[in-house]
Structure 1
Amino acid sequence: MPQLRVASYNVHSLRDDRRALTEVVRALDPDVLVVQEAPRGLRWRTRCAGLARDFGLVYAAGGLPSLGNLILVSYRVRVRDTWALRYPLTPGRHMRGAAFARCVVGRTPFVVVGTHLATDSAERPGQARTLAKALADVDVPLVLGADLNEEPNGACRGLLVENLADVAGEDGTPTYPVHAPGRRIDALLVDPAIEVRGYRVADTPAAHRASDHFPIVAELGLPD
């Protein structure tokens, strides 16, 4: 059963301390990093590549095509295919989407997905339904890293965990905001066939300077 370390991190559009952000991610040493609020505008390719280089990772998928969701991987992970999903645009609201990467570690295939749902409670359910439909088409073990913008008892998270497991389990450690943590709105959700061997919220001094969210990281065992 291959082991995989996966992290998910909302990097606050790189508005904070970039050196601290790099320190945080390098300390996590993930095989897969799912990023929300990554570069999606001018020179997004160059900026995403620079972010990957800073982190000691390589670009897999995302950026502008997935509207700021980004998937980075270590050299241990091979990327076979990538695609993007865009949610229906609500007039006057921020356009959002999801990044997908079909990967292999060893001989084991899996799909990584990254998304960032709306802050608006009226808009989120439609996005969650669109995402759930797309996830249902994935035919290998799946890992979803997301800023869901709602608590664990939220309806959208409930929709997604009908077929996926929340790696946090009973751990209610808040992930946002770093200056006064009170909400667990960031999540890693996985196929039930994936074994969860560990989970934590990376609350470190550097993380308080790096973003308005704490990163979350899980140790996963992929099915053979």
Structure 2
Amino acid sequence: MVDSGVPLRVVSYNVHGQRDDTAALAAVVRQVAPDVVIVQEGPRRFRWRAKSATLAASLGLVVAGGGLPALGNLLLTSLRVRVTGVRHQRYPLTPGRHLRGAAYADCVVGTGARFTVAGSHLATDPAERPGQAQLFKRELDAAPYPVIAAADLNDDPGGPAWRTVSRGLTDAAVAADRADRLTYSCANPRRRIDAVFVDPRISVVDYDVLDTPLTRRASDHFPILVDLRLPAVD
């Protein structure tokens, strides 16, 4: 195990619009005590600010950014993490399809280790996904600090959108030799369409897809849990 750098625990979770067992959802996240949660399908409509704050509080976290401006992508943090900047992105709308977007937050943790966390949820339409992946990747490449990016890509490893987003980054599942852990669906696990990618300067200490009775009640996606070490501050 890597013994230098600043530890950071990250969860990526498509919460299915909180349409399932919300008590189970809260218990799943609280049990692993993450520093950062990257949410897909979070609140994005009426009273989205209050709903986002309620979701964050249920998980023992605070809202860093996202919600309606990022079309349901929500970034939550523990009080250990300080957020210094937030940006949102909306992808072009294809008529008749859902609006999609992304959220980005620049953060500081520990004695000054900086990172940029990003989250997105790409389209189910294979004609839309590649363009959205390119827009997401452009922002990741422009991030001021080492990137931690999580997404429901709606694409399989090796697919066009997956290749675009992962270029130059480390696939945390591959780094931990756990790329066989499937993320969707909880009812019939058959695909790995959810992923966490990190800057090569960030070490992947551990990676898991949490398949438990609670997670099978909480959403239609399994959450990803990743333990990282950020580059040590000089």
The normalised TM-score by structure 2 is 0.94
Aligned position for 1:96: 100
- SS of residue matched to 1:131: helix
1:65 aligned counterpart, secondary structure: helix
**How far apart, in 1, do the equivalents of 2:119 and 2:139 lie?**
12
Query: Map of 1:1-224 to 2, 5 A cutoff?
Result: 1-106=5-110, 107-169=112-174, 170-171=177-178, 172-224=180-232
**How much has 1:139 moved relative to structure 2?**
2.2
Count of matched residue positions in the alignment of Structure 1 and Structure 2: 224
Q: Which digits, 9 at most, give the CA deviation of each residue in 1:160-211, with x for residues without a partner? A: 1112111000422110000110000000000011000000001111001000
SS at match of 1:158: helix
Counterpart secondary structure, 2:127: coil
Cα deviation 1:90-115 (Å, max 9, x = unaligned) = 11111100001110002011000010
Gapped regions of structure 2 (runs ≥ 5): none
Q: In percent, how many aligned pairs have the same letter?
A: 54
Q: Within 1, Cα distance between the matches of 2:44 and 2:167?
A: 31
Measured in 2, the distance between the counterparts of 1:161 and 1:94 equals 24
In structure 1, stretches of 5+ residues that fail to align are none
Q: Distance in 1 between matches of 2:26 and 2:63?
A: 15
Alpha-carbon distance in structure 2 between the residues aligned to 1:28 and 1:204: 13
Measure the CA separation in 1 of the matches of 2:127 and 2:189.
Answer: 24
Q: Which runs of 4+ in 1 moved over 6 A?
A: none
Q: What RMSD in Å do the two structures reach over aligned CA positions?
A: 0.7
Cα distance in structure 2, aligned partners of 1:161 and 1:52: 28
Q: CA–CA distance in 2 between the matches of 1:145 and 1:132? A: 12
- TM-score (structure 1 length as normaliser): 0.98
